[in-house]
Amino acid sequence: MADALAFCVRDRVVPAVEIRVNFGVFAGRNASQAEIEELARSLRDEVESFSITAEERHAFGGSREAVVRQVVVEVPSPYAGAVPNELADRIVSIAEQWAGRCIHERSDLGELGSEF
């Protein structure tokens, strides 16, 4: 296939573990590259292979529009271990602590930022 500017993904591989962090709801911004790298360093002790996507999703329907800024951690099946739910719980905990630190360090949210 030639390089394409846009393309359809027909065969999707579903990850064994997918964690979504509602970063933008609490931070009011996207996660920075440095923050994503910090999360990756935190996850390396838990899992050998994973991907992190920082996304800004725009949803449209009727007269409504929404923007969602999330960070998504995906772990492929071969690296999820025998009990993927246990790994997912550990990643959720790490991601919550990471997001809390990021929000607290770079936030003008007052009390919300101090909860973490």
Q: What is the mean pLDDT of each run of 10 residues along the chain (116 residues)?
A: 75 88 92 97 96 95 93 96 95 97 76 51
Nearest to 47 by CA among 14, 10, 92: 92
Sorted by sequence, the CB contacts under 8 Å of residue 106 that are 6+ apart come out as 27, 29
Domains and CATH numbers, the chain: 17-114 (3.30.70)
d(CA 88, CA 91): 5
d(CA 6, CA 83): 36
pTM: 0.83
SS3 19: strand
SS3 56: strand
